[in-house]
Amino acid sequence: EAAVTQSPRNKVAVTGGKVTLSCNQTNNHNNMYWYRQDTGHGLRLIHYSYGAGSTEKGDIPDGYKASRPSQENFSLILELATPSQTSVYFCASGENWAYEQYFGPGTRLTVL
Amino acid sequence: AQSVTQPDARVTVSEGASLQLRCKYSSSVTPYLFWYVQYPRQGLQLLLKYYSGDPVVQGVNGFEAEFSKSNSSFHLRKASVHWSDSAVYFCAPGTQVVGQLTFGSGTRLQVYA
């Protein structure tokens, strides 16, 4: 029944490896967002999307790519993972005419 | 200058006590304001929102917040806290880009019996 789901929930990756984090929403929202959460920083926006085929850079896009193949799905891709990308990643969705966002449960990524 | 400030990283109160969590925002963000709550190992949940109108807005679980344009603030309040309110609370104003939020660093609330 959860409207925004993320997979995997936990991931351990090696430095230099490729990581893909997936997000699915059933809210039928146009906008989707990827954030990372680190202690003392709140949430910081990595990439966002206005709809299928659209990806935009957020505040900290370096080292990340995004893909929005459909209204429901939004992926975050780390082509060459680094230990500095160890964090908790959250996906969210929202209407394109409103500010409130609805979040997934998060993915805890550890890069060794 | 930071666009949103939550000056208290950690607040500890006893169960049944009143609560105020502070949030100040800058002129670089919109006066569309939100509070989110994050329970351990979970995502963020919308607690309440302000777009316009009555400056005191009600949220879930007895929370309310008051918008003050003159003070550039949107403080969160609760009359009587419960141990289950222990969580991290984020203040998030809208940015100049419609649909985007900017998040404060959060206030960790610990309620003890």
- On the CB side of B71, how many CA atoms lie within 13 Å of its CA? 11
Asked if A27 is an interface residue toward chain B (Cβ–Cβ < 8 A), one would say: no
**B31 lies in which domain range?**
4-112
What pLDDT shows up at residue A110? 97
Give the gap in angstroms from C-alpha A42 to the nearest C-alpha of chain B: 4
User: Contact B42/A102, CB-based, under 8 Å?
Assistant: no
Mean pLDDT lowest for which of A10-19, B27-36, B67-76?
A: B27-36
User: Contact A106/B94, CB-based, under 8 Å?
Assistant: no
User: Contact B49/A99, CB-based, under 8 Å?
Assistant: yes
CB-CB contact of B90 with B103 (8 Å): yes
User: Which domains are present in chain A?
Assistant: 4-97 (2.60.40.10)
What pLDDT shows up at residue B1? 60
Per DSSP, the three-state class of A84 is helix
Asked if A31 is an interface residue toward chain B (Cβ–Cβ < 8 A), one would say: yes
What pLDDT shows up at residue B98? 86
User: Contact B99/A45, CB-based, under 8 Å?
Assistant: no
User: Contact B43/A106, CB-based, under 8 Å?
Assistant: yes
What pLDDT shows up at residue B74? 97
Mean pLDDT of A73-90: 97
Q: Residue A39's pLDDT band (boundaries 50, 70, 90)?
A: confident
Q: Number of structural domains, chain B?
A: 1
Q: Residue B113's pLDDT band (boundaries 50, 70, 90)?
A: confident
Closest CA to A27 of A69, A71, A66, A70: A71
CATH number for the domain harbouring residue B50:
2.60.40.10
Task: Tell me: pLDDT of B66 over 80.
Answer: yes
Residue of B nearest to A59 (CA): B102
Mean pLDDT of B53-72: 95
Task: Give, in degrees to the nearest 5, the angle at Cα B87 between B85 and B88.
Answer: 135
Q: What is the mean pLDDT of chain A?
A: 95
Task: Tell me: pLDDT of A2 over 90.
Answer: no
Per DSSP, the three-state class of B55 is coil
What pLDDT shows up at residue A1? 59
